[in-house]
Amino acid sequence: MNSVSEIFNNAKTEGRKFLLEPEAKTICKMYNIPVTDFKVAKNEDEVVKFSREIGFPVVLKIVSPDVIHKSDVGGVIIDLKSEEAVRKAYRQIIENVKKYKPKAKITGILVQEMAPPSTEVIVGSIKDPQFGPALMFGLGGIFVEVLKDVTFRIAPITEDDAREMITEVKAYPLLKGYRNMPPADIDAIIKIILNTSKLVMEHQEIKELDFNPIMVYEKGAKTVDARIILE
């Protein structure tokens, strides 16, 4: 699949209003939004093969149109360091998903690069019925979920807007470096917000999108999970 509309059409043909993680990440790549390296495996041996190609440690995730919140059903196992661990995790995920929904359609198992833990941020977009797509930024985890420490702008935005979004959240000092935490690559986050702005402006069929979490490093950033919901 090599264009955004092809991916959207494929989802629609299958009666889906949301993209599977590999589809959403393929679109991210088209817009220069960095993601963890990934491959979709169809069976256990392929999982092992792809894990070797990507390099340990890896993460395995369920790919299923019947599972939206993957970790809620035991569909995500991270930090797998060996072939043995990967084989075991593969069987565990299939078992967990079958337990959750015996008739769940399993498209495959996503094998991906394990992103080292770091400061987590979220970039999202929702569509305002009046103003069109808006962009959201915040720090991950409790900052978004508990403190609602997020900021919004109507798309499209400029580089200055993106920088402002980052500096105006209350948790911003954490990005500048804190105790033993090195400073985060703010320019890498700005690029992601700008590219997300471009994506939602060029594809108005996107109703909602979230890149959560994005791991931010001293140099660079990587989207670990991507969700795109269509109108």
Whether 174 contacts 181, CB under 8 Å: yes
Question: How far, CA to CA in Å, does 43 sit from each of 23, 99, 161?
Answer: 19, 19, 45
Compare residues 75 and 133 and give the one whose CB is closer to Mg ion: 75
Which of the ranges 41-49, 72-80, 84-92, 179-187 carries the binding residues for ligand ADP, by CB under 6 A? 72-80
Q: Which does 147 bind (CB under 5 to 8 A by kind): ligand ADP, Mg ion, none?
A: none
What does residue 91 show for φ and ψ, rounded to 5 degrees?
-65, -40
Candidate residues 13, 69, 102, 180; the one interacting with ligand ADP per rule CB under 6 A: 69
Q: Is 120 in the site for Mg ion (CB under 5 A)?
A: no
3-state secondary structure (DSSP) of residue 34: coil
Which one of residues 90, 104, 144, 225 is an interface residue with ligand ADP (CB under 6 A)? 225
Closest by CA position to 63, among listed 11, 20, 123: 20
Q: Are 109 and 41 in contact (CB under 8 A)?
A: yes
Contact 175, 152 (CB under 8 A): no
CB of 59 to ligand ADP, least distance (A): 4
Should residue 225 be labelled a site residue for Mg ion when binding is judged by CB under 5 A?
Answer: yes
Strands of the 108-113 sheet, one edge to the other: 38-41, 108-113, 58-63, 76-80
Site string (169-208) toward Mg ion, x via CB under 5 A: ----------------------------------------
Amino acid 227 reads R
Question: What is the distance between the alpha carbons of residues 188 and 35, in angstroms, rounded to a whole number?
Answer: 12
Rg (CA), the chain: 18
- Per CB under 6 A, contacts with ligand ADP among 73-132 are 76, 78, 112-115
Nearest approach, Cβ of 223 to ligand ADP (angstroms)? 9
At its nearest, how many Å lie between ligand ADP and the CB of residue 158?
30
| Closer by beta carbon to ligand ADP, 28 or else 76 | 76
**CA 164/CA 54 separation, integer angstroms:** 36
**183: Cα separation from own chain's centroid:** 22
Question: Does 210 help bind Mg ion (rule: CB under 5 A)?
Answer: no
Nearest distance, CB of residue 207 and Mg ion, angstroms: 18
CB of 148 to Mg ion, least distance (A): 18
Residues that bind ligand ADP (CB under 6 A): 36, 59, 61, 69-72, 76, 78, 112-115, 213, 224-225
Residues that bind Mg ion (CB under 5 A): 225
